[in-house]
Chain A
Amino acid sequence: MAALPGAAATGAVRTGSPISMLFKEAVVAAAVAALLALPLIGLETYDVSNGGLGIRTRFGWVVVAAATAFVGRPLLTLAARLRRARVPGGASLPGRAASWASAHRTAITAIGVGAAVALPFAPFASRYLVDLATTVLIYVMLGWGLNVVVGLAGLLDLGYVAFYAVGAYAFALLAQNLGFTFWQALPLSGLTAACFGIVLGFPVLRLRGDYLAIVTLGFGEIIRIVLLNWSPVTGGPNGIADIPRPSFFGLPFARVAPGGGLTFNSFFGIDYDPEHRVVFLYFVILAMALATNWFTLRLRRLPIGRAWEALREDEIACRALGINPTTVKLSAFATGAMLGGFAGCFFATRQGFISPESFTFMESAIILAIVVLGGMGSQLGVVLAAILLVTLPEFGRQFAEFRMLVFGAAMVAIMVWRPRGLLSYRVPTLRFSAAREPRS
Chain B
Amino acid sequence: MAYFLQQLINGVTLGSIYGLIAIGYTMVYGIIGMINFAHGEIYMIGAFVSVIAFLVLGLLGVTYVPLALFLVLLTTMFFTSVYGWTVERIAYRPLRGSFRLAPLISAIGMSIFLQNYVQIAQGARGKPMPPLLQGGFTVFSGGGFDVRLSYLQLLIMLLTLALMIGFTLLIETTPLGRAQRACEQDIGMAALLGVDVDRVISLTFVMGAALAAVAGLMVTLYYGVVDFFIGFLAGVKAFTAAVLGGIGSLPGAMLGGLLIGLIEAFWSGYFSVEYKDVSVFVILVLVLVFRPSGLLGRPEIEKV
- Which residue from chain A places its CB closest to the CB of B300 in the assembled complex? A208
What 0/1 readout, one digit per residue, does chain B (83-97) give for beta carbons within 8 Å of chain A?
A: 101100011001100
Instruction: List residues 27-45 of chain A with CB under 8 A from any CB of chain B.
Output: 32, 35-36, 38-41, 43-45
- Would you call the interface of chain A mostly helix, strand, loop, or mixed? helix
How many A-B contacts at CB < 8 Å in the complex?
186
Q: Interface with B: A5-13, A136-144, A409-417, which one? A: A409-417
CA distance in complex: A23, B236 (Å): 40
Chain B residues whose C-beta falls within 8 Å of the C-beta of A226 in the assembled complex: 275, 278
Cβ-based interface call for B194 (8 A): no
Distance in Å: Cβ of A314 to nearest Cβ of chain B: 8
B285: CB under 8 A from chain A? Answer: yes
> Which residues does chain A contribute within 8 Å of B56, judged by CB atoms?
43, 55
**Interface flag for A257 (CB, 8 Å):** no
What class of interface size applies to chain A in its complex with B?
35 or more
Indicate whether B232 reaches chain A with its CB closer than 8 angstroms: yes
B3 lies within 8 A of chain A by Cβ: no
The reply to whether A218 and B240 form a contact with Cβ atoms under 8 Å apart is yes
User: In the complex the two chains form, is A408's CB within 8 Å of B112's CB?
Assistant: yes
A45 touches B116 (CB 8 A): no
Q: What 0/1 pattern do residues 114 to 137 of B give for CB contact below 8 A with A? A: 111111111101011110000000
Between B75, B112, B232, B275, the greatest number of chain A beta carbons within 10 A of the residue's beta carbon is seen for B112
> What B residues does A361 contact at CB under 8 A?
232, 236
Tell me the minimal C-beta distance from B51 to chain A in angstroms: 7
Q: Does B113 have its Cβ within 8 Å of any Cβ on chain A?
A: yes
**Roughly how many angstroms separate A269 CA and B106 CA in the complex, as a whole number?**
54
**Contact mask for chain A residues 34-77; partner B; CB cutoff 8 A; 1 contact, 0 none:** 01101111011111000111110000000000000000000000
- How far is the CB of A39 from the nearest CB of chain B, in Å? 5
Cβ contact within 8 Å between B116 and A221 = no
* In the bound complex, CA of A222 to CA of B240 (Å): 14
Q: State the Cβ distance, A322 to closest chain B Cβ, in Å.
A: 17
Cβ contacts under 8 Å, B85 to chain A: 32
Total B residues in contact with A, Cβ cutoff 8 Å: 72
Shortest CB distance A390–B (Å)? 15
CB distance from B291 to the nearest CB of A (A): 11
A45 and B123 form a contact (CB under 8 A)? yes
Please give the distance in Å from B167's CB to the nearest CB on chain A.
Answer: 23
B120: chain A residues at CB < 8 Å are 401-402, 405
Chain B hits for A207, CB < 8 A: 288, 292
A residues near B128, Cβ cutoff 8 Å = 51-53
Residues on A with C-beta less than 8 A from B75 are 39
Across-interface contacts of A300 in B (CB, < 8 A): none
- A427 interface hit (Cβ, 8 Å): no
| Contacting residues, chain A, for B55 (C-beta < 8 A) | 43, 45, 53-55
A411/B105 in contact, CB under 8 A: yes
Which positions 193-246 of chain B face chain A at CB distance < 8 Å?
Answer: 232, 236, 239-240, 243
Whether A229 pairs with B275 at a CB distance below 8 angstroms is yes
A129 at the interface (CB under 8 A from B): no
Complex interface residues of chain B between 45 and 86 (CB less than 8 A to chain A): 45, 48-49, 51-53, 55-56, 59, 75, 79, 82-83, 85-86
A231 to chain B, nearest CB (A): 10
Contact: B105 with A368, CB < 8 Å?
yes
User: How far does the Cβ of A349 sit from chain B's closest Cβ, in whole Å?
Assistant: 29
B285 and A218 contact, CB distance less than 8 A: yes
Q: Which residues of B contact A209 (CB under 8 A)?
A: 100
* Cβ–Cβ contact A35 & B236, under 8 A: no
Let me know if B111 is at the binding interface, CB within 8 A. yes
Is A365 in the interface zone, CB < 8 Å from B? yes
The minimal Cβ–Cβ distance linking B116 to chain A, given in whole angstroms, is: 4
Measured CA separation A173–B288 after assembly (Å) = 33
A203 within 8 A of B: yes
Residues on A with C-beta less than 8 A from B112 are: 362, 365, 404, 407-408, 411
Which residues of chain A are near B49, meaning CB under 8 Å?
39-40
Residues on A lying within 8 angstroms of B by beta carbon are: 32, 35-36, 38-41, 43-47, 51-55, 150, 156, 203-204, 206-211, 213-215, 217-219, 221-222, 225-226, 228-229, 315-317, 361-362, 365, 368-369, 372-373, 376, 401-402, 404-405, 407-412, 415-416, 419-420
Q: Which 4 A-B pairs have the closest CB atoms?
A: A411-B109, A408-B113, A408-B112, A218-B281
Given A368-B108, A402-B120, 18 new contacts (CB under 8 A): A39-B48, A39-B49, A43-B52, A44-B122, A53-B51, A150-B101, A206-B292, A218-B285, A226-B278, A229-B274, A369-B105, A376-B101, A408-B113, A411-B105, A411-B106, A411-B112, A416-B90, A419-B95
